[in-house]
Structure 1
Amino acid sequence: MFAFTAKKIKNALALGLIAMGTFTSVSSFAATSTKECKILVMGDSLSAAYGLAKEQGWVTLMETRLDQKFPHCAVVNASVSGETTAGGKTRLPALLKQHKPTHMILELGANDGLRGLSLDTMKDNLTNMLVAARRNETQAVLIGMMIPSNYGPAYARRFSDTFADVARKQKVPLVPFMLDGFALDPTAFQADGIHPNAGAQPKILENIWPTFSATLK
């Protein structure tokens, strides 16, 4: 689970740290790009390099690796701080139409869990986005998350299980836990105790890369 506590969640909400933010800049991509592989990252602050310089975030680190191993790929980082699955579902159709991505990394749900939102609705929203990607002939990878048991252990368990259930039913690859290996290490997080720091960004990439890169081969 996350390294943050209920008190830190409350403080973060009060400061607007996970409130709706602005779109991040589109990374290494132009509408006129001739690259045949286009990767859309649909995420929240965990993928928007919140509190960091853009080049420190795991998405930019992934771009650097792609330049070396899959130079035909371009990246659109459409992650928004504070985004929920409902917001992602609303934004996705226009992004698919505009960018026509061949691949999508779907990293949403953490804010649904932190706010105690309906897990049935979260499941429906994730499913909707994966179906939309499939209709667009976009290969998707789903990123799983875990949350503290602030709303009870049953809610926390069902939250994490939702990602596996959706991935299985939609037949898409799953990264079980984005923060695997360092979620309980307080030194891996920024002062708010919620957002991974610069040193943790390569670890996030290592958690995602094996599953995602397999879809590029």
Structure 2
Amino acid sequence: MSKIFGFFKKIILYFLIIFSFTNIITAKEETLLILGDSISAGYGINQKDNWVSLLQEEFYKEETSLKLINSSVSGDTTSGGLERLKEDLKISNPDYVLIELGGNDALRGYPVKKIKDNLKQMISLVKANNSKPLLMQIRIPPNYGQKYTYAFEKIYVDLALAENINLLPFMLENIGVNSDLMQSDGIHPNKKAQEMIAKDVKKNLNKVLFFK
């Protein structure tokens, strides 16, 4: 009887090992498409040193199954992002899309309504693709006037509430005010700031995507 019991115990153990191994192999690597401008493209920074690359390294080290696809273009506006989003979705079919656009629109004084409409269309495209949209808050220097600055920054809060999506804090919140962390143009973060940005974005992504 003990031999029979031992035999069945081995069989059960065998199938448990096979089942666990199969689950590991078939575990889906989720993808996050980053649709951004020069801040995410790493303007003036070696690509391996920009915050997206550093964040991907951190996820790999922690064996977090999240692949970052950086579709960011320096100088891009919400109109440009909207124009190329369809192709990005078709090629990558990501699980998540982080929209980090609008800063260049504001720097050029584009109408707030147009910026909001473009962002809303992007969110709709992402949802239609059965992907989950995430929105990054964007802030601009106060010299654009209190009225325009308020209306622009309010776009992101309003859209997040209306579309029921997560709004990530502005990635340069505590960086843009520190000249030691900015390039000489005063707009783009330098190499020293990239690790700080990666750490901050990671913390906020962990909150909304539930990675530990």
Match of 2:198 among 188, 199, 205: 205
| Structure 1 range deviating more: 149-158 or 120-129 | 149-158
The match for 1:60 among 35, 43, 53 is 53
Instruction: Please state if 1:167 is matched with 2:160.
Output: yes
After superposition, where does 1:119-134 map in structure 2 within 5 Å? 119-134=112-127
Render the CA deviation track for 1:144-189: whole Å, top value 9, x for unaligned.
1111133311101111111111111111111232211122111110
| Percent of aligned pairs sharing the same letter | 36
- Compared CA separation, residues 198 and 110, structure 1 to 2 (3 A): same
What pairs up with 1:97-116 in 2 under 5 angstroms? 97-116=90-109
Shift of 1:43: 0.3
Query: Which amino acid in 1 is paired with 2:96?
Result: H
Offset at 1:67?
0.8
Higher share of residues assigned helix: 2
Is 1:77 matched up with 2:70?
Answer: yes
My pick for the range that moved more, 50-59 or 204-213, is 204-213
* C-alpha contact (below 8 Å) 2:175/2:182 kept by paired residues: no
2:180 corresponds to: 187
Q: Any residues of structure 2 matched to 1:39-50 within 5 Å, and which?
A: 39-50=32-43
Q: Does the aligned pair in 1 maintain the 2:176–2:187 contact within 8 Å?
A: no
Residues 35 and 98 in structure 2, CA contact (< 8 A), matched pair in contact too: yes
Q: Which has the higher contact order (CA 8 A, sep 6+)?
A: 1
- Where 1:190 maps in the other structure, the secondary structure is coil
Q: CA deviation at 1:35?
A: 5.2
In 2, Cα distance between the equivalents of 1:69 and 1:157? 39
TM-score of the superposed pair, with normalisation by structure 2: 0.82
In structure 2, the partner of 1:91 is 84
Q: TM-score, normalised by structure 1?
A: 0.80
Could you tell which deviates more after superposition, 105-114 or 180-189?
Answer: 180-189
Distance 2:33 2:72 in 1: 9
Q: Which amino acid aligns with 1:212?
A: L
* Residue 35 to residue 77, structure 1, CA distance change in 2 (3 Å): farther
The counterpart of 1:157, out of the listed 146, 150, 160, is 150
Q: 1:148 aligns with which of 129, 141, 146?
A: 141
- C-alpha displacement at 1:70, in angstroms? 4.7
State how far apart, in whole Å, the 2-side matches of 1:89 and 1:213 are: 26
The C-alpha deviation readout for 1:51-70, integer Å capped at 9, x for no partner, is: 01011111001101111235
Tell me how large the CA RMSD over aligned residues is.
Answer: 1.5
Aligned length: 184
Tell me the equivalent position of 2:44.
51
Partners of 2:194 and 2:77 in 1: CA distance: 21
- Identify unmatched segments of 5+ residues in structure 1: 1-33
Q: CA deviation at 1:37?
A: 0.6
For 1:68 and 1:192, the matched residues in 2 are separated by 34
Counterpart Cα distance in 2 of 1:187 and 1:210: 23
